[in-house]
Amino acid sequence: MPKYTFPFFFLLWLIPISLSADPKDHCVVVLSMDGFRWDYPAIYHTPNLHRLAKAGCRAESLKPAYPTKTFPNHYAIATGLYPDHNGIVQNSFYDPKLDRVFRMGDRKAVQDSIFWEGEAIWETAEKQGVKVASYFWVGTESNERYRPEMRKYYEDSFPIRQQIDTVFKWLMLPSDQRPGLVMFYFDQPDKTSHDFGPVSQEVEEVVERLDQLVGALTKGLKKIEKLKKMEIDLIILSDHGMGYIPEGQQVFLEDIIDLKRIKRYNGGSPVISLEPDPAYLDEVYGKLKSAPHLKVWKRDELPARYHYGSHQRIPQLIVEADSLYGLETRRKENFHYGLGTHGYDPANRDMHGIFYAAGPSFKKGFVQPAFENVNIYELLAKLLKIKPAKTDGSLNLVKGMLKGN
């Protein structure tokens, strides 16, 4: 678990300061805290998030796209497209046309723009003359022509305070060099929630440390606004929530079907997609259909609310464990499966994340009804005053948070 020390935003005083910025210069800062469940601020002590809600807006919850996994949802936020339309259909998948596998830990695949479909907000912004900076945001590492002008590639367990210091340095750049959009990402509390479950002392500790970091971030941004005579809209959100799995409640596919007759399987607990041998399709479907604690669909049978199943990268069968259950292909000796996971039906409230926003563009003390994360792209485009690409979202569903609406 990373260690955090305070204070660290004193570094602002060490940065050369120019007071020549144009009045009302504007920037949008977006922070994602992976796996920060919608109700963590009610369960744990998060005074800085509560202050942010009073100073601006908060959503009752942020509804993720299916499957409720990290890569599909960060890219859904960035593009305004469901995973079925943005191409990142799972954290790992196989593309039959390319005959290639994508895995989030495969640097070569992650950096190849052929896997990333749709138009991300950084592409829209850079094409229209708005500089973008990214620190670990999913999708920004690819070799797209219009990629963030400033970007940092993901490093596991990287010090969070160093990320924030770099964001401050970006915002302290002269006006003609400074990004108009900054997007950055923390890999907590997801990691800790997976190991110990969403309601645990360990998660309490990391959530409260993150809230302290939010406090330091907001104080530093206010100082920058004053020094640089600029305005900053801050958005803090998460990609998904986290569900609890009691110890020992795992379903193993090897107990139900013949894995030797499965050509490939993608994803991970609690959602695994299967491509059976054609002659085995109906048999494996029937066996999974009758198995306890599982749901299975052929790709054209998925619930309409999932917005999922048409992309070529989605295999023939999608298997999802029931709430409170995990799903694995095989048993692993001496392996700790963890007490938390995500990936379930977006209608499962435990899968919902957070959304907070404050700054000159947002109302104060406003509570936004729960909304889908595919609407965020349009909101960012509005804040940046750029023309959005076509998306699955709608500004109309979230514009109530903005002043003048």
Q: Count the neighbouring beta carbons within 10 Å of the beta carbon of residue 287.
A: 16
Report the Cα 254 to chain-centroid distance in Å. 31
Annotated catalytic residue within 70, 124, 140, 192? 70
- Whether 341 is catalytic is no
Per-residue burial over 141-179, b if 16 or more Cβ lie within 10 Å, else e, is bbebeebbebbbebeeebebbebbbbbbebbbbeeeebb
Q: Count the neighbouring beta carbons within 10 Å of the beta carbon of residue 362.
A: 20
Q: Quote the CA–CA distance of 241 and 350 in Å, as a whole number.
A: 6
Q: Quote the CA–CA distance of 96 and 78 in Å, as a whole number.
A: 25
Name the residues annotated as catalytic. 70
